[in-house]
Structure 1
Amino acid sequence: MLLDIPATIAQLEGLLVDTVRISRLSGAPIDPDTGEPVREIVYEGQGALLSTHGQITATQMTGVDWAGESAAWYQLLTPLTAPVAEPGDQVEVIGAADTTSVAVGRLWYAEARTQASTWEVVRVTRLDEQGGSVGAML
């Protein structure tokens, strides 16, 4: 079975219904007002946050296991036009299409660089929720 890459990209991007923000440590000193490290926004736009259950649901909807297996409980999906996330980048859902979403305002960290693939149809980044092992190191 041949995969229609452009159709799959369009189908998956249609599932990116939330607004996400990715920020990265800027290298600037600590913000004197907050005492927090200074971060710069590297992406703000279309995205989706999927738990392992959400990945299974999306696979059932599209008929393709495009996310594959992952040890991460959460994965961030962004369009191919979004920048590649780096380890330690902070991810926040700033707007959710679902008004009952509990994701808005929660923080995650990229565990590793955005996954690479020969046939990329959406950017997939493994996440660790703040307070997890990656968040504890930052």
Structure 2
Amino acid sequence: MGAICWGGGLMAGLDLSALVPMVEGMILLDTLRFSRPGTGQPVFNDATGEYDYPVAQTVYEGPGAVQAAGGALGGVSVVPLPNLPWTDETRSPYRALTPLSAPVAERDMIVSVVAVHPGGDTALIGRQWRAQDPGGAGTLGVVRITALDQMQQNQDGA
């Protein structure tokens, strides 16, 4: 543990590592999967009437949690994305919580809930989100937080 110079004196730095196992055991109860989208275009499957997406590459599968990112869910972008003449689809702000040991999510990674803990919300299984930015990192974290936007259409193969 390092020392911090504050007001001319030395003070021990804040170490939250002792909290990590407790927080992980209380919050990271479900199983999340982080995947890189497969490359290539989806192909229409005449037999099912749906698109088959290229197989995604799993980067992380392990303990985690998904929760609404404050306030009311949903909303509409009022400013078009660059190079698009229309506003983007609705925004559904969520966040994924994973252990600090999990890899940092990349922008546009697909996040899905693979399993929920007993008594958990089974409606989460099968939903998919897209990482809005690389996963957060900070000097005082006990879990990694990744901003998510719920996808309107699932991309299977993850």
TM-score (norm. length: structure 1): 0.70
Correspondence for 1:84: 104
Give the secondary structure class of the aligned counterpart of 1:22: strand
More strand by percentage: 2
CA deviations on 1:64-102 (whole Å, 9 max, x unpaired) are xxxxxxx97311000111111011111111100144512
The 1:99–1:93 alpha-carbon spacing in structure 2 relative to 1, beyond 3 Å, is same
More helix by percentage: 1
Aligned equivalents of 1:51 and 1:31: distance in 2?
Answer: 29
TM-score (norm. length: structure 2): 0.62
Aligned equivalents of 1:3 and 1:75: distance in 2?
Answer: 25
Contact 1:85–1:113 (CA<8 Å) still a contact in 2?
yes
Contact 2:116–2:125 (CA<8 Å) still a contact in 1?
yes
C-alpha deviation, 1:10, in angstroms: 1.6
Question: Structure 1 runs of 4+ off > 4 angstroms?
Answer: 30-34
Aligned equivalents of 2:116 and 2:62: distance in 1?
Answer: 11
Correspondence for 1:6: 17
The 1:99–1:39 alpha-carbon spacing in structure 2 relative to 1, beyond 3 Å, is same
Identity %: 38
Aligned equivalents of 1:78 and 1:100: distance in 2?
Answer: 17
The 1:42–1:8 alpha-carbon spacing in structure 2 relative to 1, beyond 3 Å, is same
The farther-off stretch of 35-44 and 81-90 is: 35-44
Aligned equivalents of 1:35 and 1:99: distance in 2?
Answer: 32
Write the mapping of 1:44-59 to structure 2, written as runs, cut at 5 A: 44-52=61-69
Q: Is 2:54 aligned against 1:37?
A: yes
Alpha carbon RMSD of aligned pairs, Å?
A: 2.7
Residue correspondences, number: 114
Question: Which segments of 5 or more consecutive residues in structure 1 lack a partner in the other structure?
Answer: 54-70
